C-alpha cells in the first residue's frame, strides 16, 4: 500500500466518485492503523495530542465517506 496520495490520484478523485470513495476509505484504514500503533506507544509524551489529532482526522474522513456514499 502506498504511503502518500499522488497528484494524479487527487486529480482522478475529483472526477471519479467511486475512486474518491476508495481513496478516502484507504486513507481512513491507514490512519486507523497509525492510531493503533500510536496507542501501543502511549508512554510517549507526544502520544496524547497525536491521538486526538488522529481521531479528529478519522472522524472527518468518515464524514466525507458518508457524504460521498449519499451522492
Long-range contacts of 60-64 (CB under 8 A, 24+ apart): 61/24, 61/27, 61/28, 61/31, 62/28, 64/24
Q: Is residue 5 pLDDT above 70, yes or no?
A: yes
Q: Is residue 2 pLDDT above 60, yes or no?
A: no
* pLDDT (tens digit per residue) in 16-70: 999 988 988 888 888 888 888 877 777 777 777 877 888 888 888 888 877 877 7
**pLDDT confidence of residue 71:** 67
C-alpha cell at 54: 488522529
Q: Is residue 4 pLDDT above 80, yes or no?
A: no
- Altogether, the residues listed in the chain come to a count of 71
**pLDDT confidence of residue 1:** 43
CB neighbour list of residue 71: distance below 8 Å, 6 or more residues apart = 17
Amino acid at each position: 500500500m502506498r504511503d502518500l496520495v499522488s497528484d494524479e490520484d487527487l486529480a482522478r478523485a475529483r472526477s471519479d466518485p467511486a475512486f474518491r470513495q476508495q481513496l478516502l476509505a484507504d486513507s481512513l484504514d491507514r490512519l486507523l492503523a497509525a492510531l493503533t500503533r500510536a496507542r501501543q506507544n502511549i508512554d510517549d509524551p507526544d502520544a496524547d495530542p497525536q491521538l486526538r489529532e488522529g481521531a479528529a482526522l478519522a472522524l472527518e474522513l468518515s464524514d466525507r465517506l458518508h457524504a460521498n456514499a449519499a451522492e
